[in-house]
Amino acid sequence: MSATPIALPASRVPDSATAPPLRWGVLGTGWAASHFVDSLHGNSGQRVVAVGSRSGAKAVAFARPFGIHRAYGSYEAVVSDPHVDVVYIATPHNHHVENGLLALDAGKHVLIEKPISLSSEGLEMLLAVATTRGLLVQEAFWTFFLPKYDVIRQLVADGALGEIRSVVADHGEWFADDHRIQDPALAGGALNDLGAYPIALATWVLGRPTDARASATWSARGVPADVALLMRHGAGGASTLTTTIRSTTPCRAAIVGTEATVLVDGAFFMPGRFSVEDAATTRRLRYDEPSLRHDALHFQAAEVARRITTGELCSPSWSHDDSREFLAGLESAVAALPAPDPLSVESLVRTYGQ
């Protein structure tokens, strides 16, 4: 008999406007930081009061359109500002741990963009310092704070899908050759930015990998540009995941159980639609929500504000253990990558003139 519900559960994510208002500092002035500030100011009571960059001019230029009055030419000035309650870190991946420790040492709670670290060791270092100081440290995996993922969370937890056997997901976008994601010095490549989403979905549902196989092609600048992953997981299932920075793909996902399957429309990691299809019948349930795209970043900030106010050190929506499982998946994927073929890279250089 199918375990599939006759109706979908309601999302339990509260209105972000009801979260206790905190004062935020932001490290970094790139694309992610801009969308984060815009989302907070437009949808919640959270306010960004300070921003920092390695360049004072960049900080001022970033701050002006948002009405942020404290623009600093250093990260140290932001974390030392007594008007800042919590720091959002949107610097390049390979600076997350360093910048997170800077904020924690200054006594500030931190929300750190994914991946929170490029290694499990970096994550554990952050958690050890945060625990000692009684501060919250949270990975900013905004997808899992969205209302639709709370509905999926309930379906998985309640056994509505039966035994989950597999996760299938892809994430691909086209990026120009001079984009940051193409730069190996900034931990670029398909895995850390785009592949993080399929890997996180797979580990969230199936647990950390016990085995990983990968195929990849490399860019002329030496980053993995196209990656296909096949993973076996501790919970007994398998995942098939693809990511690329060479083309825009459907970005869909499926969570496949013995009783039912969740099919998530593209882009699966953003607000939007999904359906639940019964494995034995034609019954189909449909979930829909406004496609807010990155305007939905406020959900994670509001949740962090709630947890800080109640003295908690992390949110159950994306727990420290979730971060651990995800990083184990990311590390497994990196370890499984084949070495770049020097002849292939040389050929790309000749073809594209890089």
Asked if residues 123 and 148 have their Cβ atoms less than 8 Å apart, the reply is: no
Among residues 58, 108, 114, 148, which one is catalytic? 114
Give the residues across from 291 on adjacent strands.
none
- Alpha-carbon distance of 41 to 29, in angstroms, equals 16
Place of tokens 């998946």: 329
Q: What is the dihedral of CA 328, 331, 336, 342, to 10 degrees?
A: 170
Asked if residues 239 and 231 have their Cβ atoms less than 8 Å apart, the reply is: yes
- Alpha-carbon distance of 265 to 95, in angstroms, equals 33
- Alpha-carbon distance of 98 to 113, in angstroms, equals 13
Number of alpha helices (DSSP H) and beta strands (DSSP E) in the chain? 11, 14
Give the residues across from 209 on adjacent strands.
233
| Amino acid present at 258 | T
To the query of whether residue 58 is one of the catalytic residues in this protein, the response is: no
- Alpha-carbon distance of 109 to 116, in angstroms, equals 14
- Alpha-carbon distance of 73 to 55, in angstroms, equals 5
Cα dist from 316 to 13, 296, 297, whole Å:
12, 18, 17
- Alpha-carbon distance of 354 to 221, in angstroms, equals 8
Q: Which of the residues are catalytic? A: 114
